[in-house]
Every structure is written in C-alpha cells, then in structure tokens.
C-alpha cells in the first residue's frame, strides 16, 4: 500500500491532484462526467469583485506542445459565485474547495477575500498576483516584490483562511517574490502561472490572439515550471503548490520530488476532461513502480 495523502496549509487531502483555476470552471460542470470527489480538491475559476466578460475573441491559440490563452478573467463576479456557483457545487462536491481570487487593486483583492472568507466550503484562497495593477502603472502585482507583499499583507488581514499566493514566472527571480510574500504572511505559494507568448497569422500578418499576447501553458512549460518549483521550495519554508504542463502521474511525482506539496493540473483538462481522474487513479501504480511509499517522504528529495 502507498500513502497518497498530503496536508496543505493545515487541511488534509486524499491526494495531491488539484485541477488548476480556469480549466475546471466551478466544478459542477465536470461532475456531470465523473465523481469529482476523487480529487484532492480543485481551484475554481478566477473570481473578481465585479462581473467580467473577458477579452475580445479570438483569445485562444494552439501551439506546439501547448496553448496560448488571453481569456481575461471572464467570471460572474464574487457575489454571484457565492449565491449561485457555490450552492450548485455543494450538491456534487463534499470537500473544501480552493477559491482563486483576482483583482486590479489591493482594495479589490481584499473585498473579494473578505466575502469568500465567510464561505464554509472555501478551504484556501489562492490569490493570483499576476493581474495588472491599474493604480500602479499597469504592471502585474506579481512582478514586484513590494507590491506582491502589499497584496499579501492586506489580504491576510481580511481572512482567517490559508492564503496561497499564485506567482508569475515572468520575472527575473521568482524566489525573491516568494520570499517577499512569505515574509508578508502568505501560508503558501503556487507556481507557475502562464508564460507570456504570442502567435502570428502568416495569412493576415496579424497576431492570432486579439489581445496580441497570451499565456503559454501545456507540456512545453513543464521543465521551466519544475525548475522554478525546485528553486522556490528551497528558498521558502511555506508549502509550494507546483503547476505548469503537468499531464501525468509521473509529472506529479516529479513536482513533489522537486519540492511541491500539492500539484495543479491545468491545460491537460482542456485536452481531456478526464485527465485529473486518470492521474489520481494512476498515481498509486506510479508510486509503486518507483518504490515510493509516501508522498511526504518523497517531497523535496531531489
């Protein structure tokens, strides 16, 4: 027998597999396909204070071993998430869910977290600091250690739930940002968010995506993500949630070997809606194959 259980910021999970925000909706859509209670948990769609339609189309483009997206945080707004999405989810999911929070100013982050803090089913707040700071010149909060720390400190005052800061890879040194948010009170970090990329249409001579650039995800980014998880896990003492191109049970084990406590699966869900279910099912077999008895014993041994 192998032990797939892990503890993420004080909450025990049956396994470390977590569908990533933006690839699993609010959960109940996938519950029509299989029992999503087999998952460790999942991170629901990036949620903002007000409803957002998102960016103009086209906003998705395929590329070798991955995809680009510039969806633009389309969501119904936090009040509808609380009044409509979470009650629907509760009918099909009996575990704590991870709430992904986005904002365009510190006050907005704080208010969204304050509202979600009251929801019993929300176990963690995954705060995405890759959003542009509209009051600070448009640069992402996550590209500057001071602003990332400021968001973290403000959010921590507004919630009693564990706060996991989702970090951007589009920085010179991701460990600097990780240490800054740890010092500001973060209970964990998750990484990596998407890399910036673009595609051009040779027929029209224009960018494929209306927004010009998009976020690169999929198997192509896995080695980059693994390296950043490895470095970050050695730079901080708080849990690291690894993600970026994960598409198999072996990828999950590599992430944990690199230092991750839990592992999010993103683009793979858009290729195969049963991807996470299959990873959960194959994880014990993969552990046995490599002589791994416990994920806790494997963590950070690289």
Q: Which residues contact 21 (CB under 8 A, 6 or more apart)?
A: 43, 44, 45, 46, 98, 100, 126, 128, 166, 264
Q: What is the mean pLDDT of the chain?
A: 96
Residue % of the chain over a pLDDT of 90: 95
Q: Quick one: pLDDT at residue 130?
A: 85
Confidence label for 135 from pLDDT (cuts 50, 70 and 90): low
Kindly tell me if the per-residue pLDDT of 134 is higher than 60.
Answer: no
In a domain, 63, yes or no: no
Q: Quick one: pLDDT at residue 61?
A: 95
Can 38 be counted among the known catalytic residues?
Answer: no
Q: What is the mean pLDDT of residues 52-78?
A: 94
189 contacts 167 by C-beta, under 8 angstroms = yes
In a domain, 11, yes or no: yes
In a domain, 262, yes or no: yes
Which pLDDT tens digit goes with each residue over 151-183? 999 999 999 999 999 999 999 999 999 999 999
Q: What is the mean pLDDT of residues 10-37?
A: 97
In a domain, 161, yes or no: yes
In a domain, 203, yes or no: no
Q: Quick one: pLDDT at residue 131?
A: 72
Q: What is the mean pLDDT of residues 8-12?
A: 98
Residue % of the chain over a pLDDT of 70: 97
In a domain, 44, yes or no: yes
Q: CA 209 to CA 105: how far, in whole Å?
A: 26
Q: What is the mean pLDDT of residues 203-208?
A: 97
In a domain, 59, yes or no: no
Kindly tell me if the per-residue pLDDT of 138 is higher than 90.
Answer: no
271 contacts 246 by C-beta, under 8 angstroms = no
DSSP-assigned letters across all residues of 51-91: -B--SPSP-EEEETTEEEE-----B--HHHIIIIIHHHHHT
Active-site annotation holder among 9, 38, 63, 131: 131
Which pLDDT tens digit goes with each residue over 220-270? 999 999 999 999 999 999 999 999 999 999 999 999 999 999 999 999 999
Which pLDDT tens digit goes with each residue over 80-121? 999 999 999 999 999 999 999 999 999 999 999 999 999 999
What domain range includes position 151?
6-54+73-195+219-298
Name the domain count of the chain: 1
CATH code: domain of residue 152: 3.20.20.70
Kindly tell me if the per-residue pLDDT of 137 is higher than 70.
Answer: no
Q: Quick one: pLDDT at residue 140?
A: 83
In a domain, 135, yes or no: yes
Confidence label for 44 from pLDDT (cuts 50, 70 and 90): very high
């Amino acid at each position: 027998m192998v032990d797939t259980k892990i503890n993420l910021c004080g909450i025990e999970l049956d396994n470390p597999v977590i569908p990533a925000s933006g690839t699993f909706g609010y959960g109940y859509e996938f519950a029509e396909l299989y029992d999503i209670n087999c998952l460790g948990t999942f991170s629901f769609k990036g949620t903002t204070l007000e409803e957002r339609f998102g960016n103009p189309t086209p906003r998705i483009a395929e590329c070798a071993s991955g995809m680009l997206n510039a969806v633009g945080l389309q969501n119904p707004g936090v009040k509808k998430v609380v009044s409509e999405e979470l009650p629907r989810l509760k009918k099909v999911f009996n575990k704590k869910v991870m709430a992904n929070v986005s904002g365009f100013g510190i006050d907005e982050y704080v208010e969204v977290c304050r509202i979600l803090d009251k929801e019993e089913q929300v176990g963690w707040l995954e705060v995405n600091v890759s959003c542009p700071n509209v009051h600070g010149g448009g640069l992402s909060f996550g590209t500057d250690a001071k602003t990332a720390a400021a968001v973290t400190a403000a959010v921590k005052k507004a919630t009693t739930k564990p706060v996991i800061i989702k970090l951007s890879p589009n920085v010179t040194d991701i460990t600097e940002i990780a240490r800054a948010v740890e010092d500001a009170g973060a209970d964990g970090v998750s990484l990596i968010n998407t890399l910036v990329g673009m595609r051009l249409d040779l027929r029209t001579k224009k960018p494929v995506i209306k927004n010009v650039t998009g976020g690169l995800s999929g198997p192509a980014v896995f080695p980059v993500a693994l390296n950043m998880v490895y470095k970050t896990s050695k730079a901080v003492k708080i849990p690291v949630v690894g993600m970026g191109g994960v598409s198999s049970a072996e990828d999950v084990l590599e992430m944990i070997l690199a230092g991750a406590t839990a592992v999010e699966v993103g683009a793979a869900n858009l290729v195969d809606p049963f991807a996470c279910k299959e990873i959960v099912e194959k994880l014990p077999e993969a552990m046995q194959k490599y002589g791994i008895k416990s994920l806790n014993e494997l963590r950070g041994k690289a």
